[in-house]
Amino acid sequence: MSKGKFKKRFIVIPLLVLLVGGGAFGAVKLLQGKNTVNVAPVSDAVAEAKMYTLDEMGDTYYGKLVKGSVASIKTNPELKIESVKVKKGDSVKKGDLILAYDVHSLEDNVADAELMVKTLTNEITILQNEIDILTRIQPSENKPEDEEPEEEETKDEAAPGVAFEKKLTPKSVPLGGSSTAEDPLIYIAGEDTVISSQLLEQLEKSSGAAAVYVCDETGAQLYARFIDGSQIAGYRKDLPVSDGVTVTPGGMIAYSGGTVGFAAFVTAGAAQSGADMPQGYEMPEMPEMPELPDTDMSSYELSLNDNYMYSLRELKDMISQREKDIASKELEKRQAELNVKRSKKLAETGGETAPIDGKVTFVAKDIYHLPENGSYVTIANEDGMSVSSSVGEFSRDKVSVGMEADITNFETGAVTKGVVTELSDKPSEQGGSDDSQGSALESQYAFTVTLNDEMEISEDSEVQISFPHEGAENAIIVPAPLVRSEAGRCFMMIANNETNRLEKRYVTIGEVSATSVEILDGITEDDRFAFPYGKSVEGVRVVDSTFEKTYYDYGIIF
């Protein structure tokens, strides 16, 4: 599956304005001499944010109710049809299997979708690593006056290569993995890289696992070291990845056993260890060696040795561009994760199912004889009820057949649920309409939502169609100013419940609106937050307060 299948849209993310440089809120500082800071429950911030912006964490459209409903069953062009389970005239129930796909096609579809998520995750990690390097590179304005020009000439004449971290620490960002033996943390290293004692201690305490792939200066993979945290047993030294390994000029690799037993030597074939391994210990199967990009990849063009090569303005511009790239990649990743869920659901059902009760009114001869709307099977129900609307081309990937929707009747106030049963592959001839969402200049694609239950209806009854984002109801959504960015990573200032002092807590963000941010990981509603942020608040003692005193007393109108 190629990245080209995920349509890019022109989207403005106001969060970036707040995260870069702190915005106007960064000017608010703690009073001099103040040795405490107010904190309030995160749950209060969530309640406030949802009150004003929950509708922004979803997508809303409008349409008119009509009697009856029609559902078109379309095929996935990437999947092989094994059989058609119905014929014209059959009566079907919602959920009945209509088209069955080949099992192997379904498995490959899931694997492709998951690979896309991993690829985008790695690309985001690389960009974050670049930002981290850029924030530590010295600008040209700071270059010492007595800098010898010969050193610069020597660097220019040096052979091109790939720059790797000299030391892997707990701050090093892994390319993937969950720290289990079956799915170890994955790091890329050079032949002279060392694994810090701090990272080894962290793996020991968590009984975690890590796979360090060692490459030469051109980026070619040589071997790997599998670190078993449960076997470290108090080792408190930095460990060179080359411990016990010899690489000859001719490219031959030899392993003499090394000095530790918790860092197994792994070749492309199998794991080897000259050190004594614990009795009964079995080396887990290693993941496939990840493919490195070409040696001119942007993530490794940057190095901490690039001091004085860029001006302060250039460094800021480079960081800004990468933050924008991360925002774009995050949107692609969310779409890819949604595609994974759809693929898995399709694999569970075995194929396309009936979205409504009704009678089969059309079955195509084969995939080469489809009608203009692309339907393979059509189901009609004269007793049901549906609503039609349209979506702009830049938001078309937000609507798909099978999505559930909340329906609100403006005339009666009645509320019910429905499911998308039709989505046109071709734009409407009339372009934008009053029922659509988006600019009238956008091409519009018609879609139909079939209601689960009938509603009170009259002529021209207008309804609202809402597609709440998954998990939005129980999501942790906070006002945008509470979230800041540092080296491409987002954080909040949270009270440590054990020390009762303020600490910087890194968070994973999800959906972003004009005024709010969804927090996927890093905090809970039981935590306590501080606001505003000064330059010296980390470690300050906290005092419990209210949301109003912590947030509103600084003149912020949410």
Q: Which helix (H) or strand (E) holds 386?
A: strand 377-392
| 417 vs 280, more confident | 417
Give pLDDT, residue 553.
55
Question: How far apart (Å, rounded) are the C-alpha atoms in residues 478 and 473?
Answer: 13
Q: Is 4 exposed, middle or buried (0-12, 13-18, 19+ CB in 10 A)?
A: exposed
pLDDT band at 487 (very low <50, low <70, confident <90, very high): low
**Taking a C-beta distance cutoff of 8 angstroms, is the pair 525, 43 a contact?**
yes
Residues contacting 117, CB < 8 A, separation 6+: 333, 336, 337, 340
Flag the least confident range among 130-139, 270-279, 351-360.
270-279
Q: Which two tokens stand for residue 8?
A: 């890019």
Residues contacting 393, CB < 8 A, separation 6+: 427, 438, 442, 443, 444, 445
| 13 vs 252, more confident | 252
Question: How far apart (Å, rounded) are the C-alpha atoms in residues 230 and 526?
Answer: 32
pLDDT of 316 over the 70 cut: yes
**Taking a C-beta distance cutoff of 8 angstroms, is the pair 393, 373 a contact?**
no
**Taking a C-beta distance cutoff of 8 angstroms, is the pair 536, 499 a contact?**
no
Identify the bridge partners of residue 477 per DSSP, sorted by sequence position: 518
Residues contacting 57, CB < 8 A, separation 6+: 468, 469, 472, 475, 477, 511, 513, 516, 518
Over residues 191-226, the pLDDT tens digits come to 899 999 989 988 988 888 888 888 887 777 888 888
Mean pLDDT of 323-331: 83
Give pLDDT, residue 298.
38
Mean pLDDT of 6-31: 34
Give pLDDT, residue 527.
93
Mean pLDDT of 311-335: 84
Domains defined for the chain, CATH in brackets:
3-55+473-554 (2.40.420.20), 59-100+356-468 (no CATH), 161-294 (no CATH)
| 389 vs 552, more confident | 389
Give pLDDT, residue 91.
92
Give pLDDT, residue 2.
37
Mean pLDDT of 37-55: 75
| 343 vs 458, more confident | 343
- Report which of 193, 173, 152 is spatially closest to residue 306, judged by C-alpha positions: 152
Q: 326 — phi, psi (to 5°)?
A: -65, -45
Q: Which two tokens stand for residue 84?
A: 């058609």
| 447 vs 400, more confident | 447
Mean pLDDT of 34-53: 77
pLDDT of 122 over the 80 cut: yes
| 3 vs 291, more confident | 291
Q: Which two tokens stand for residue 275?
A: 């050190």
pLDDT of 39 over the 50 cut: yes
Flag the least confident range among 34-48, 54-68, 313-327.
54-68
Q: Which helix (H) or strand (E) holds 421?
A: strand 415-423
Give pLDDT, residue 518.
82
Question: How far apart (Å, rounded) are the C-alpha atoms in residues 164 and 214?
Answer: 10
For residue 509, which amino acid is it?
A: I
Give pLDDT, residue 459.
59
